[in-house]
Amino acid sequence: MSGVLRAQANQINADFPRHLALLTIIRVVLNTAHRMAYPFLGVMARAMGVEVAVLSMAVSSRAFVGLLAPFISPLSDTYGRKTGLISGLALFIMASLLLVFFPGVVTFWLCLLLGVLGKYLYDPSVMAYIGDRVAYSQRGKYISINETGWSLAFIVGMPLTAWGISRFGWVSPYIAFAILGVAGVIGIIFLLPATPPHPEAPRFHLSNLLTTGKDIRLVAALSIGLWTTAGNEIVNMVFGVWLEDAFQVKLTALAAASAIIGLSELGGEGLVATFTDKLGKRKALMIGILSSILAAIALPLLATTQTGALAGLFFFYIAFEFVMVSHLPLMSEVLPSARATAMSMNILGFSIGRGVGAFLSQPVYQQFGFAAVTGISIVFNLIGLASLVIFSRIQRNGRLPAKVS
């Protein structure tokens, strides 16, 4: 690590909290655009005069963009974090303006794909930026603060989006996204310091990416996120249908479940900020995965009442969020010279995990019921736990820096 980066990582600059606030607010905007497709899909489908299934296919296709993340995020390692951040926002702005000027089904589809591509360039650049400037012993706290951009998008962004749609139409949020994106670019240009690339950063081409992907340390770390994400997604894809089938209430139960998910995500991020650095990242991950397993066991047992089911969902999602956010600082130190590349491969792992969970969810639920869904979730989390054990053994054998704990 260069002297500049070492100094930055050992002592947080006085301006860093302001930089973190800016980067987090931008993530709220990007995540609001990303998440709004779910609750407002019906509204947008009616406005475009198409079936919900048509737009649902467009939303589902975003998952495949995660496969491209490792091919674009090394830009941040090779040319500096500001380049990665601004490039990601530029794609997001282009996506929003495309829909503003040419609203329709095809441009909605293109907007989703370009927008998520920009997000998958921006997000790893943010994590790498934090990793460059915050010592590993404190990184869980600051990454979890930035991760509130995910839960706040649901808690704050969705109500504002609903208000905008009700007052000005379904395209209006994208006007706001474009304006806020431009403001974010200006803020990054003038407020963030210069971000030279790591002196040992791999050059931005396919051969180096493939070499990085063969690193056993990285593969073990990625497996943790992949399998725990699969364990979450298999439940995530069917919990709404399950609530409808079990309690014959639709709007009330789903609205309550949505609020619970947003609050549990924020709670999980708060727990990471409070405990992960103190416990150590590996120990925090172990506690989180075991908690996810216990929550999956308890979920069908608590579901004798609607209240019990919602309580079970709260604990299930808060445990998963604790795992995911604790996993990020660990990933940020596996390959310090290629942080953005490692974080983008983490997105790839999450995408594969979501794909596995989504693929199995409906057939398992339809054939065997919700208890079987949670049973497979437990299996996936156990595989994630085994991956964590393998990762820890690699460290003990001296194949990782001792500080990665």
Alpha-carbon distance 29 to 178, whole Å?
10
pLDDT, tens digit, 9 for 90 and up, residues 85-126: 999 999 999 999 999 999 999 999 999 999 999 998 999 899
Residue 184, pLDDT score:
97
Confidence (pLDDT) at 402: 41
314 vs 129: CA distance, rounded Å: 31
The percent helix, strand, coil of the chain (3-state, each to 5) is: 85, 0, 15
Phi/psi at 75 (5° precision): -55, -40
pLDDT at 400: 45
pLDDT digits (tens, 9 = 90+) for 121-132: 999 899 989 988
State the pLDDT at residue 396: 76
Q: Which two tokens stand for residue 200?
A: 């040992």
What pLDDT, on a 0 to 100 scale, did the predictor assign at position 326? 93
Confidence (pLDDT) at 256: 62
Q: Delineate the domains of the chain, giving CATH numbers in brackets.
A: 3-201 (1.20.1250.20), 208-399 (1.20.1250.20)
User: For residue 296, is it left (φ>0), alpha (ψ between -120 and 50) or beta?
Assistant: alpha
d(CA 388, CA 11): 29
DSSP structure string for 339-365? HHHHHHHHHHHHHHHHHHHHHHHHHHH
- pLDDT in the model for residue 291: 96
pLDDT for the residue numbered 2:
45
Residues in the chain, pLDDT under 70: 1-12, 73, 198-215, 249-259, 398-405
Q: What is the pLDDT of residue 103?
A: 93
Distance, first Cα to last Cα, the chain: 19
pLDDT in tens, 134-160: 988 889 899 999 999 988 988 888 888
Cα 79 from chain centroid (whole Å): 24
pLDDT value of residue 398: 59
